[in-house]
Amino acid sequence: MNAPTRPRMRDTRITLAHGGGGKAMRELIETVFTSAFEPASMEDQARLTDAALAQPGARLAFTTDSFVVDPVEFPGGDIGTLAVCGTVNDLAVGGARPLWLSAAFIIEEGTEIALLERLVASMKAEARAAGVRIVTGDTKVVGRGCADKVFITTAGIGVIPPGRDLRADAIRPGDVVLVNGLLGDHGTAILTARGDMALSADIRSDCQGLGHLMEAVLAAAPGVRAARDATRGGIASALNEMAEAAGVAVELDETALPLRAEVRGMCEILGLDPLYLANEGTLVLFVPEDQAAAALSAMRATPAGREAVAIGHAHAGIAGRVTLRSAFGGARIVDMLVGEQLPRIC
């Protein structure tokens, strides 16, 4: 007996009928989404099991995020890549091993089916690289002008193994601040992709999953205090949040900041501060001083951490204050970002 064939898409663009719950919607879901993600069933929920859940003391980690980047495709990635990496990274920096994702799509009428297929292919590839499965999801179609091509919401579930407890309030004076790579690449890539400033630079987004890197770091330096992925608001906002939670001060070394010359130059032209530029594959770690070298070595041995460096330290100064020490010996306060340097960034 021959297996039933999947319906073929007859349309090249999304219509309101693709959100109506009928045959057109079924064609969209089966042709574009389930053919790529291959869920275990078409029930209204995913039923999940994993051996990690049976470990005494293991805990579930759960996170959710929405993505509205403009443009939806950019050098180094697209909104689909962002949706997977962003949720995987939110789990990983808490010490969880990401396992499962959901994905919900808000699609504007008139969006090209070919664009959706590219985004879904990106999500499939990134999920495979991260070792996670996209197990459930949803689609909705809205009229022209009610969205901008496609918005994606992902939720993720991971397992925190027994004994792991990464928390910002665990940071102590003397801890070393590490980053795994170059700063500001994502924000700069989006800015140049929009073309609003008539500027060009050969910069790709740093969008990447950090789950494998975090596992390597935690194996080499089990005393890692806390980690945060430096997305909107950049490392400045992440460090302010962590310093406030821990009641410590943080001092950064300007000469140690890993910045491309192109990023630095564009920031000087536009009056932007690279410390506030968004990243999508960069994390900030606080590690006890005696484990910093091991953590750096472990990061540099992974594809996502080849550019890892130490950029500062925590100390017993004014609680919650982050400062930047310049090459000339002066210092300035690095406060929380007020407003948004660049909207629709992720």
| Domain final residue pick, 114, 144, 160 | 160
Contacts of 7-12 with CB under 8 Å at 24 or more apart are: 7/31, 9/113, 11/113, 12/112, 12/113, 12/114
Are residues 268 and 196 both part of a single domain?
A: yes
Judge if 91 and 197 occupy the same domain.
Answer: no
| CATH code at position 325 | 3.90.650.10
**What per-residue confidence (pLDDT) applies to 11?**
85
Q: Which two tokens stand for residue 307?
A: 């550019």
Q: Quick check: helix, strand or coil at residue 226?
A: strand
pLDDT above 70 covers a percentage of the chain that reads: 96
Q: Are residues 146 and 175 in the same domain?
A: no
pLDDT recorded at residue 44: 79
- Answer yes or no: do 234 and 121 share one domain: no
Asked whether residue 156 falls in the same domain as residue 292, the answer is no
The CATH number of residue 68's host domain is 3.30.1330.10
Residues 201 and 269 in one domain: yes
Are 43 and 148 part of one and the same domain? yes
Show the tokens assigned to 40: 């275990």
In a domain? residue 86: yes
111 and 196 both lie in a single domain: no
Q: How confident is the model at residue 65 (pLDDT cuts 50, 70, 90)?
A: very high
What are the strands, taking DSSP E only, across the chain?
59-67, 73-74, 77-78, 97-108, 133-142, 150-160, 176-179, 226-229, 249-253, 283-287, 309-315, 322-325, 331-333
Query: What span, in angstroms and rounded, lies between the C-alpha atoms of 285 and 59?
Result: 22
Other CB atoms within 10 Å distance of the CB of residue 339: 6
Mean pLDDT of 45-64: 89
Whether residues 239 and 122 share a domain: the answer is: no
Residue 105 domain-assigned (yes or no): yes
Per-residue confidence (pLDDT) for residue 342, from 0 to 100: 76
Which tens digits make up the pLDDT trace of 84-98?
999 999 999 999 999
Same domain, 155 and 175: no
Angle between helices 113-130 and 79-92 (to 10 degrees): 30
Domain assignment of residue 190, yes or no: yes
Predicted TM-score of the model (pTM): 0.93
User: How high is the pLDDT of residue 1?
Assistant: 43
Alpha helices for 131-184 (secondary structure H): none
* pLDDT for residue 206 is more than 50: yes
4 falls within a domain: no
**Model pLDDT for residues 253-311, shown as the tens digit of each residue:** 999 999 999 999 989 888 899 999 999 999 999 999 999 999 999 999 999 999 999 99
pLDDT of 3 reads: 46
What are the residues whose beta carbons fall under 8 Å from the beta carbon of 339, sequence distance 6 or more?
none
Average pLDDT over residues 54-59: 90
Q: Name the domain boundary from 125, 143, 160.
A: 160
**Domains: count for the chain:** 2
Domain end call among 160, 195, 222: 160
pLDDT value for 34: 87
2 or 312, higher pLDDT:
312
Range of the domain at 76: 16-160
Residues 207 and 313 in one domain: yes
